[in-house]
Amino acid sequence: MEHFSVIQSIIRSGLAGDQDGLDKQVQRLLTRLEKAGQTKEATTVRRLLQSATDTKELTPSRVEVSRAMITGEVLTPDTNPPIDRETGAQLCTIEFPGAQRTAPIYEVDVRETIQGLLDEWTHPEALRCVEVDPTRSLLIFGPPGSGKTMTAYHIAQNLNLPLVMARIDGLISSFLGTTARNIANLFEFANRYACVLLLDEFDALAKQRDDPQEIGEIKRVVNTLLQNLDLRRDHGVTIAITNHDRLLDPAVWRRFETHVHIGEPNMEASIRLVKRFLLPIKPDEATVSIIAYCLQGRSGADLQRICTSIKRTLALSGKEHSGPGIFQALSAVLARLPSHDHAPAKLLATDPDAFVSLITNDNHFAISQLEIAAATGISKSKISELKKSNRHVAVMEASHAK
Ligand SMILES: Nc1ncnc2c1ncn2[C@@H]1O[C@H](COP(=O)(O)OP(=O)(O)OP(=O)(O)O)[C@@H](O)[C@H]1O
Ligand SMILES: [Mg+2]
Protein backbone atom coordinates (compact mmCIF):
# COMPACT_ATOMS: atom_id res chain seq x y z
CA MET A 1 0.00 0.00 0.00
CA GLU A 2 1.37 3.35 -1.08
CA HIS A 3 2.34 5.85 1.68
CA PHE A 4 1.84 3.11 4.27
CA SER A 5 4.88 4.21 6.29
CA VAL A 6 3.40 7.73 6.72
CA ILE A 7 -0.02 6.32 7.61
CA GLN A 8 1.67 4.14 10.21
CA SER A 9 3.36 7.23 11.72
CA ILE A 10 0.02 9.06 11.76
CA ILE A 11 -1.59 6.20 13.67
CA ARG A 12 1.32 6.06 16.09
CA SER A 13 1.17 9.80 16.86
CA GLY A 14 -2.63 9.71 17.15
CA LEU A 15 -2.63 6.83 19.60
CA ALA A 16 0.12 8.44 21.67
CA GLY A 17 -1.85 11.70 21.81
CA ASP A 18 1.11 13.52 20.22
CA GLN A 19 -0.64 16.45 18.51
CA ASP A 20 2.54 18.03 17.10
CA GLY A 21 3.73 14.71 15.70
CA LEU A 22 0.27 14.08 14.23
CA ASP A 23 0.21 17.49 12.50
CA LYS A 24 3.68 16.88 11.09
CA GLN A 25 2.85 13.42 9.74
CA VAL A 26 -0.39 14.58 8.12
CA GLN A 27 1.58 17.37 6.41
CA ARG A 28 4.07 14.74 5.23
CA LEU A 29 1.24 12.66 3.77
CA LEU A 30 -0.15 15.73 2.03
CA THR A 31 3.22 16.52 0.42
CA ARG A 32 3.58 12.92 -0.76
CA LEU A 33 0.09 12.86 -2.26
CA GLU A 34 0.76 16.13 -4.09
CA LYS A 35 4.09 14.85 -5.42
CA ALA A 36 2.44 11.64 -6.61
CA GLY A 37 -0.18 13.69 -8.49
CA GLN A 38 -3.03 12.33 -6.35
CA THR A 39 -4.86 15.66 -6.40
CA LYS A 40 -8.23 14.38 -5.21
CA GLU A 41 -6.77 12.67 -2.15
CA ALA A 42 -4.53 15.69 -1.45
CA THR A 43 -7.57 18.01 -1.54
CA THR A 44 -9.42 15.77 0.92
CA VAL A 45 -6.49 15.81 3.36
CA ARG A 46 -6.13 19.59 2.98
CA ARG A 47 -9.84 20.03 3.74
CA LEU A 48 -9.57 17.82 6.81
CA LEU A 49 -6.63 19.88 8.02
CA GLN A 50 -8.53 23.13 7.42
CA SER A 51 -11.64 21.98 9.27
CA ALA A 52 -9.49 20.80 12.19
CA THR A 53 -7.92 24.28 12.37
CA ASP A 54 -11.37 25.92 12.30
CA THR A 55 -12.59 23.64 15.08
CA LYS A 56 -9.51 24.34 17.16
CA GLU A 57 -10.24 28.04 16.92
CA LEU A 58 -13.77 27.44 18.18
CA THR A 59 -12.93 24.97 20.92
CA PRO A 60 -11.25 26.25 24.05
CA SER A 61 -7.83 24.84 24.77
CA ARG A 62 -7.89 22.92 28.00
CA VAL A 63 -5.39 23.95 30.61
CA GLU A 64 -3.74 21.58 33.00
CA VAL A 65 -5.15 22.63 36.33
CA SER A 66 -3.32 21.97 39.51
CA ARG A 67 -5.33 19.02 40.77
CA ALA A 68 -4.01 19.34 44.29
CA MET A 69 -6.01 22.53 44.72
CA ILE A 70 -9.37 21.05 43.77
CA THR A 71 -9.98 18.13 46.00
CA GLY A 72 -12.94 15.79 46.17
CA GLU A 73 -14.18 12.57 44.72
CA VAL A 74 -14.43 12.11 40.98
CA LEU A 75 -17.93 12.63 39.58
CA THR A 76 -18.98 9.97 37.10
CA PRO A 77 -22.09 9.60 34.95
CA ASP A 78 -23.23 6.98 37.48
CA THR A 79 -23.26 9.46 40.35
CA ASN A 80 -26.81 10.30 41.37
CA PRO A 81 -27.50 14.03 41.73
CA PRO A 82 -29.20 15.11 44.97
CA ILE A 83 -32.99 15.38 44.92
CA ASP A 84 -35.78 17.21 46.72
CA ARG A 85 -37.07 14.76 49.30
CA GLU A 86 -40.70 15.75 48.88
CA THR A 87 -41.00 15.92 45.11
CA GLY A 88 -38.05 13.81 43.95
CA ALA A 89 -36.97 16.67 41.62
CA GLN A 90 -33.26 16.83 40.83
CA LEU A 91 -31.43 19.73 42.47
CA CYS A 92 -28.81 19.93 39.74
CA THR A 93 -27.73 18.62 36.38
CA ILE A 94 -24.17 17.73 35.54
CA GLU A 95 -22.13 18.32 32.40
CA PHE A 96 -18.92 16.39 32.12
CA PRO A 97 -15.75 17.73 30.47
CA GLY A 98 -15.34 16.86 26.82
CA ALA A 99 -18.65 18.26 25.56
CA GLN A 100 -18.00 20.09 22.29
CA ARG A 101 -18.74 23.70 23.17
CA THR A 102 -17.50 26.78 21.41
CA ALA A 103 -15.58 29.45 23.28
CA PRO A 104 -17.34 32.77 23.91
CA ILE A 105 -16.19 35.94 22.18
CA TYR A 106 -15.66 38.99 24.39
CA GLU A 107 -14.38 42.49 24.17
CA VAL A 108 -10.86 42.91 25.45
CA ASP A 109 -11.55 43.70 29.15
CA VAL A 110 -13.79 40.70 29.73
CA ARG A 111 -11.46 38.50 27.70
CA GLU A 112 -8.53 39.48 29.89
CA THR A 113 -10.49 38.94 33.11
CA ILE A 114 -11.65 35.45 32.12
CA GLN A 115 -8.25 34.50 30.73
CA GLY A 116 -6.65 35.90 33.88
CA LEU A 117 -8.80 33.59 36.02
CA LEU A 118 -7.84 30.59 33.93
CA ASP A 119 -4.17 31.60 34.09
CA GLU A 120 -4.37 31.66 37.89
CA TRP A 121 -5.35 28.01 37.84
CA THR A 122 -2.53 27.11 35.45
CA HIS A 123 0.12 28.92 37.49
CA PRO A 124 -0.87 28.51 41.14
CA GLU A 125 2.80 28.29 42.13
CA ALA A 126 3.31 31.91 40.99
CA LEU A 127 0.43 32.93 43.27
CA ARG A 128 1.76 30.87 46.14
CA CYS A 129 4.90 33.08 46.25
CA VAL A 130 2.65 35.91 47.35
CA GLU A 131 0.57 33.61 49.55
CA VAL A 132 -2.67 33.72 47.61
CA ASP A 133 -4.76 31.03 45.91
CA PRO A 134 -6.43 31.13 42.50
CA THR A 135 -9.89 32.72 42.41
CA ARG A 136 -12.51 30.22 43.51
CA SER A 137 -15.67 32.27 43.28
CA LEU A 138 -16.96 34.41 40.48
CA LEU A 139 -20.14 36.44 40.12
CA ILE A 140 -21.09 37.17 36.52
CA PHE A 141 -23.77 39.77 35.82
CA GLY A 142 -25.09 41.52 32.74
CA PRO A 143 -27.98 41.74 30.29
CA PRO A 144 -29.71 38.69 28.80
CA GLY A 145 -28.04 36.83 25.96
CA SER A 146 -24.56 38.25 26.53
CA GLY A 147 -22.84 34.89 26.98
CA LYS A 148 -22.86 34.53 30.79
CA THR A 149 -24.00 30.91 30.96
CA MET A 150 -21.73 30.11 28.03
CA THR A 151 -18.85 31.58 30.05
CA ALA A 152 -19.53 29.19 32.94
CA TYR A 153 -19.38 26.23 30.55
CA HIS A 154 -16.20 27.65 29.06
CA ILE A 155 -14.51 27.97 32.45
CA ALA A 156 -15.50 24.45 33.57
CA GLN A 157 -14.34 23.03 30.28
CA ASN A 158 -11.00 24.79 30.52
CA LEU A 159 -10.49 23.65 34.07
CA ASN A 160 -11.38 20.16 32.85
CA LEU A 161 -13.91 19.78 35.66
CA PRO A 162 -17.55 18.67 35.61
CA LEU A 163 -20.07 21.49 35.84
CA VAL A 164 -22.74 21.00 38.50
CA MET A 165 -25.62 23.28 37.49
CA ALA A 166 -28.13 24.11 40.19
CA ARG A 167 -31.72 23.65 39.04
CA ILE A 168 -33.72 26.52 40.42
CA ASP A 169 -37.02 24.75 39.72
CA GLY A 170 -35.83 21.76 41.74
CA LEU A 171 -34.35 23.83 44.57
CA ILE A 172 -37.27 26.13 45.25
CA SER A 173 -40.02 24.40 47.13
CA SER A 174 -43.38 25.57 48.37
CA PHE A 175 -42.87 23.64 51.59
CA LEU A 176 -41.63 25.77 54.42
CA GLY A 177 -37.93 25.20 55.10
CA THR A 178 -37.42 22.82 52.18
CA THR A 179 -35.72 25.35 49.88
CA ALA A 180 -33.07 26.04 52.53
CA ARG A 181 -32.58 22.33 53.06
CA ASN A 182 -32.27 21.75 49.29
CA ILE A 183 -29.61 24.46 49.06
CA ALA A 184 -27.65 22.86 51.89
CA ASN A 185 -27.89 19.44 50.18
CA LEU A 186 -26.76 20.87 46.86
CA PHE A 187 -23.70 22.49 48.43
CA GLU A 188 -22.90 19.32 50.35
CA PHE A 189 -22.95 17.41 47.05
CA ALA A 190 -20.80 20.00 45.26
CA ASN A 191 -18.28 20.07 48.11
CA ARG A 192 -17.95 16.30 48.08
CA TYR A 193 -16.88 16.14 44.42
CA ALA A 194 -14.21 17.94 42.39
CA CYS A 195 -16.38 20.25 40.28
CA VAL A 196 -17.42 23.74 39.29
CA LEU A 197 -20.73 24.68 40.96
CA LEU A 198 -22.92 26.92 38.80
CA LEU A 199 -25.72 28.95 40.37
CA ASP A 200 -27.43 30.37 37.28
CA GLU A 201 -30.37 32.82 37.69
CA PHE A 202 -28.80 33.46 41.09
CA ASP A 203 -31.19 36.31 41.95
CA ALA A 204 -33.96 33.75 42.37
CA LEU A 205 -32.14 32.54 45.50
CA ALA A 206 -30.16 35.55 46.64
CA LYS A 207 -32.88 38.21 46.67
CA GLN A 208 -32.65 41.07 49.11
CA ARG A 209 -33.84 39.96 52.49
CA ASP A 210 -35.75 43.19 53.05
CA ASP A 211 -37.89 42.75 49.94
CA PRO A 212 -41.37 43.79 51.20
CA GLN A 213 -42.99 41.28 48.82
CA GLU A 214 -41.35 38.38 50.56
CA ILE A 215 -42.06 36.86 53.92
CA GLY A 216 -39.74 35.11 56.40
CA GLU A 217 -38.83 32.25 54.07
CA ILE A 218 -36.53 34.35 51.87
CA LYS A 219 -34.49 35.38 54.93
CA ARG A 220 -33.96 31.74 55.81
CA VAL A 221 -32.99 30.92 52.19
CA VAL A 222 -30.49 33.79 51.89
CA ASN A 223 -28.96 33.05 55.27
CA THR A 224 -28.48 29.39 54.30
CA LEU A 225 -26.99 30.48 50.99
CA LEU A 226 -24.51 32.82 52.69
CA GLN A 227 -23.45 30.16 55.17
CA ASN A 228 -22.95 27.61 52.43
CA LEU A 229 -21.02 30.03 50.25
CA ASP A 230 -18.71 30.63 53.23
CA LEU A 231 -18.26 26.91 53.78
CA ARG A 232 -17.48 26.34 50.12
CA ARG A 233 -14.53 28.72 50.17
CA ASP A 234 -11.86 25.98 50.19
CA HIS A 235 -13.60 23.56 47.87
CA GLY A 236 -13.96 23.70 44.07
CA VAL A 237 -14.91 26.71 41.97
CA THR A 238 -18.27 28.49 42.33
CA ILE A 239 -19.86 30.64 39.64
CA ALA A 240 -23.06 32.61 40.21
CA ILE A 241 -24.86 34.37 37.37
CA THR A 242 -27.57 37.00 37.33
CA ASN A 243 -29.32 39.41 34.96
CA HIS A 244 -30.63 41.39 37.93
CA ASP A 245 -27.61 42.44 39.96
CA ARG A 246 -29.65 45.17 41.67
CA LEU A 247 -31.95 42.58 43.22
CA LEU A 248 -29.13 40.74 44.95
CA ASP A 249 -28.82 40.94 48.70
CA PRO A 250 -25.84 43.23 49.45
CA ALA A 251 -24.22 40.59 51.67
CA VAL A 252 -23.93 38.26 48.70
CA TRP A 253 -21.43 40.36 46.74
CA ARG A 254 -18.51 39.99 49.10
CA ARG A 255 -18.89 36.19 49.07
CA PHE A 256 -17.48 36.33 45.53
CA GLU A 257 -13.86 37.19 44.96
CA THR A 258 -14.34 38.47 41.41
CA HIS A 259 -17.29 40.23 39.82
CA VAL A 260 -17.44 40.31 36.03
CA HIS A 261 -19.87 42.36 34.01
CA ILE A 262 -20.52 40.91 30.56
CA GLY A 263 -22.39 43.47 28.52
CA GLU A 264 -23.31 43.86 24.89
CA PRO A 265 -20.29 43.36 22.61
CA ASN A 266 -18.41 46.40 21.33
CA MET A 267 -17.71 46.85 17.61
CA GLU A 268 -14.57 44.67 17.62
CA ALA A 269 -16.31 41.78 19.41
CA SER A 270 -19.45 42.19 17.27
CA ILE A 271 -17.34 41.79 14.13
CA ARG A 272 -15.92 38.53 15.43
CA LEU A 273 -19.35 37.30 16.50
CA VAL A 274 -20.91 38.14 13.12
CA LYS A 275 -18.10 36.28 11.35
CA ARG A 276 -18.73 33.23 13.51
CA PHE A 277 -22.51 33.28 13.20
CA LEU A 278 -22.47 33.76 9.42
CA LEU A 279 -20.32 30.65 8.86
CA PRO A 280 -20.11 28.81 6.48
CA ILE A 281 -20.59 32.10 4.61
CA LYS A 282 -17.36 34.09 4.74
CA PRO A 283 -18.15 37.62 3.55
CA ASP A 284 -15.60 40.38 2.96
CA GLU A 285 -14.55 42.60 5.88
CA ALA A 286 -16.66 45.59 4.76
CA THR A 287 -19.85 43.50 4.74
CA VAL A 288 -19.11 42.13 8.21
CA SER A 289 -18.43 45.68 9.46
CA ILE A 290 -21.71 46.93 8.02
CA ILE A 291 -23.65 44.19 9.82
CA ALA A 292 -21.80 44.77 13.12
CA TYR A 293 -22.34 48.54 12.80
CA CYS A 294 -26.07 48.05 12.29
CA LEU A 295 -26.37 45.70 15.22
CA GLN A 296 -24.43 47.74 17.79
CA GLY A 297 -26.01 47.54 21.23
CA ARG A 298 -27.45 44.09 20.61
CA SER A 299 -26.46 41.03 22.61
CA GLY A 300 -24.47 38.08 21.28
CA ALA A 301 -27.67 36.00 21.28
CA ASP A 302 -29.42 38.70 19.18
CA LEU A 303 -26.52 38.78 16.73
CA GLN A 304 -26.76 35.02 16.37
CA ARG A 305 -30.51 35.14 15.77
CA ILE A 306 -30.21 37.91 13.17
CA CYS A 307 -27.27 36.25 11.38
CA THR A 308 -29.29 33.04 11.16
CA SER A 309 -32.21 34.99 9.64
CA ILE A 310 -29.82 36.62 7.16
CA LYS A 311 -28.57 33.18 6.09
CA ARG A 312 -32.12 31.87 5.66
CA THR A 313 -33.23 34.92 3.68
CA LEU A 314 -30.12 34.82 1.52
CA ALA A 315 -30.41 31.10 0.82
CA LEU A 316 -33.99 31.48 -0.41
CA SER A 317 -33.29 34.66 -2.38
CA GLY A 318 -31.15 32.79 -4.87
CA LYS A 319 -28.65 35.67 -4.73
CA GLU A 320 -24.90 35.20 -4.48
CA HIS A 321 -23.55 34.64 -0.97
CA SER A 322 -21.42 37.77 -1.11
CA GLY A 323 -21.61 41.46 -0.14
CA PRO A 324 -24.64 42.81 -2.08
CA GLY A 325 -26.79 39.68 -1.50
CA ILE A 326 -26.00 39.77 2.23
CA PHE A 327 -26.64 43.54 2.39
CA GLN A 328 -30.11 43.07 0.89
CA ALA A 329 -30.83 40.13 3.17
CA LEU A 330 -29.75 42.22 6.19
CA SER A 331 -32.01 45.07 5.12
CA ALA A 332 -34.95 42.65 4.65
CA VAL A 333 -34.36 40.99 8.02
CA LEU A 334 -34.18 44.35 9.83
CA ALA A 335 -37.36 45.51 8.08
CA ARG A 336 -39.17 42.47 9.47
CA LEU A 337 -38.09 43.15 13.06
CA PRO A 338 -40.70 45.06 15.08
CA SER A 339 -38.70 48.11 16.21
CA HIS A 340 -35.19 49.48 16.41
CA ASP A 341 -33.65 51.68 19.09
CA HIS A 342 -30.45 51.97 17.13
CA ALA A 343 -30.46 54.59 14.33
CA PRO A 344 -28.35 52.69 11.74
CA ALA A 345 -30.59 49.60 11.97
CA LYS A 346 -33.71 51.74 11.78
CA LEU A 347 -32.38 53.52 8.69
CA LEU A 348 -31.36 50.34 6.90
CA ALA A 349 -34.74 48.78 7.68
CA THR A 350 -36.65 51.67 6.15
CA ASP A 351 -34.37 53.54 3.75
CA PRO A 352 -31.12 51.85 2.59
CA ASP A 353 -30.02 55.03 0.74
CA ALA A 354 -30.21 57.00 3.98
CA PHE A 355 -28.18 54.26 5.66
CA VAL A 356 -25.45 54.59 3.03
CA SER A 357 -25.52 58.36 3.52
CA LEU A 358 -24.99 57.75 7.26
CA ILE A 359 -22.04 55.37 6.96
CA THR A 360 -20.24 57.51 4.41
CA ASN A 361 -20.52 60.48 6.77
CA ASP A 362 -19.70 58.70 10.02
CA ASN A 363 -15.99 59.16 10.79
CA HIS A 364 -16.11 56.24 13.23
CA PHE A 365 -17.00 53.90 10.39
CA ALA A 366 -13.62 53.56 8.72
CA ILE A 367 -14.60 51.81 5.48
CA SER A 368 -13.77 53.44 2.16
CA GLN A 369 -16.44 54.35 -0.38
CA LEU A 370 -14.91 51.80 -2.75
CA GLU A 371 -15.38 49.02 -0.19
CA ILE A 372 -18.92 50.19 0.59
CA ALA A 373 -19.71 50.03 -3.13
CA ALA A 374 -18.40 46.45 -3.34
CA ALA A 375 -20.27 45.41 -0.19
CA THR A 376 -23.62 46.97 -1.08
CA GLY A 377 -23.63 46.64 -4.85
CA ILE A 378 -24.40 50.37 -5.11
CA SER A 379 -22.34 52.24 -7.73
CA LYS A 380 -19.46 54.43 -6.60
CA SER A 381 -20.99 57.53 -8.15
CA LYS A 382 -24.29 56.97 -6.33
CA ILE A 383 -22.41 56.48 -3.08
CA SER A 384 -20.60 59.81 -3.36
CA GLU A 385 -23.92 61.43 -4.30
CA LEU A 386 -25.56 59.92 -1.18
CA LYS A 387 -22.66 61.13 0.97
CA LYS A 388 -23.20 64.69 -0.23
CA SER A 389 -26.98 64.43 0.16
CA ASN A 390 -26.84 63.87 3.95
CA ARG A 391 -30.09 62.07 3.39
CA HIS A 392 -29.86 60.30 6.75
CA VAL A 393 -30.23 63.61 8.64
CA ALA A 394 -33.54 64.42 6.95
CA VAL A 395 -34.87 60.87 7.41
CA MET A 396 -33.93 60.80 11.08
CA GLU A 397 -35.45 64.23 11.71
CA ALA A 398 -38.66 63.17 9.98
CA SER A 399 -38.86 60.01 12.11
CA HIS A 400 -38.30 62.04 15.31
CA ALA A 401 -41.02 64.47 14.32
CA LYS A 402 -43.54 61.61 14.04
N1 LIG B 1 -20.14 36.52 23.98
C2 LIG B 1 -20.62 35.55 23.22
N3 LIG B 1 -19.81 34.79 22.46
C4 LIG B 1 -20.31 33.83 21.66
N5 LIG B 1 -21.62 33.52 21.57
C6 LIG B 1 -22.47 34.23 22.32
C7 LIG B 1 -22.03 35.28 23.17
N8 LIG B 1 -23.10 35.82 23.78
C9 LIG B 1 -24.16 35.13 23.36
N10 LIG B 1 -23.79 34.17 22.49
C11 LIG B 1 -24.72 33.24 21.83
O12 LIG B 1 -25.98 33.37 22.45
C13 LIG B 1 -26.35 32.17 23.15
C14 LIG B 1 -26.93 32.52 24.50
O15 LIG B 1 -25.90 32.90 25.39
P16 LIG B 1 -25.98 32.64 26.96
O17 LIG B 1 -27.05 31.65 27.25
O18 LIG B 1 -24.63 32.35 27.48
O19 LIG B 1 -26.47 34.07 27.44
P20 LIG B 1 -26.77 34.56 28.91
O21 LIG B 1 -25.99 35.80 29.12
O22 LIG B 1 -26.58 33.44 29.87
O23 LIG B 1 -28.32 34.92 28.76
P24 LIG B 1 -29.49 34.91 29.89
O25 LIG B 1 -29.16 36.03 30.83
O26 LIG B 1 -30.72 35.18 29.10
O27 LIG B 1 -29.46 33.57 30.54
C28 LIG B 1 -25.08 31.35 23.24
O29 LIG B 1 -25.35 29.99 23.24
C30 LIG B 1 -24.31 31.78 22.03
O31 LIG B 1 -24.72 31.05 20.91
MG1 LIG C 1 -27.93 32.37 31.05
Cβ-proximal residues to 67 (8 Å cutoff; 6+ apart), any chain: 194
pLDDT, greater one: 338 or 213: 338
CATH number for region 67-261 = 3.40.50.300
Indicate if ligand 1 lies below 6 Å from the C-beta of 270. Answer: no
Residue 301 Cβ contacting ligand 1 at under 6 Å? yes
Q: Cis peptide leading into 280, omega within 30 of 0?
A: yes
pLDDT of 386: 87
Give the whole-angstrom CA distance, residue 79 versus residue 194. Answer: 13
Which residues place a Cβ less than 5 A from the ion ligand 2?
A: 149
Nearest CA to ligand 1 atom 30: 301
Is the pLDDT at 146 greater than 80? The verdict is: yes
pLDDT tens digits, residue range 259-302?
A: 999 999 999 999 999 999 999 999 999 999 999 999 999 999 99
Q: What mean pLDDT do residues 363-392 have?
A: 89
Considering only 235-239, 248-252, 337-341, which range has the smallest mean pLDDT? 337-341
| Residue 62 confidence (pLDDT) above 80 | no
Q: Which residues of 253-282 are buried (b: 16+ CB within 10 A; e: fewer)?
A: eebbbbebebbbbeeebbbebbbbbbeebe
pLDDT digits (tens, 9 = 90+) for 156-194: 999 999 999 999 888 888 777 888 899 999 999 999 999
Closest CA to ligand 1's atom 13: 301
Q: Which ligand is nearest to the CA of 274?
A: 1
Q: Which of 113, 115, 150, 298 to mutate to test the pocket of ligand 1 (most atoms within 8 A of CB)?
A: 150
Distance 152 CA to ligand 2 centre (A): 9
Q: What pLDDT shows up at residue 50? A: 67
Domain ranges of the chain: 4-58, 67-261, 267-401
Q: Which atom of ligand 1 is nearest to the CA of 269?
A: 1
Query: 212, 253 in Cβ contact below 8 A?
Result: no
Q: What is the distance, to the nearest Å, from the Cα of residue 53 to the centroid of all Cα atoms in its chain?
A: 19
pLDDT at 154: 94
Amino acid letter for position 154: H
Query: What one-letter code names the amino acid at 162?
Result: P
Most confident range (mean pLDDT) of 74-78, 306-310, 397-401 is: 306-310
Separation of CA 182 and ligand 2 centre (Å): 22
Pseudo-torsion of CA 308, 309, 312, 318, nearest 10°? -120
Q: Does the beta carbon of 399 lie inside 6 Å of ligand 1?
A: no
Percentage of the chain with pLDDT > 70?
A: 93
pLDDT digits (tens, 9 = 90+) for 77-87: 999 999 998 89
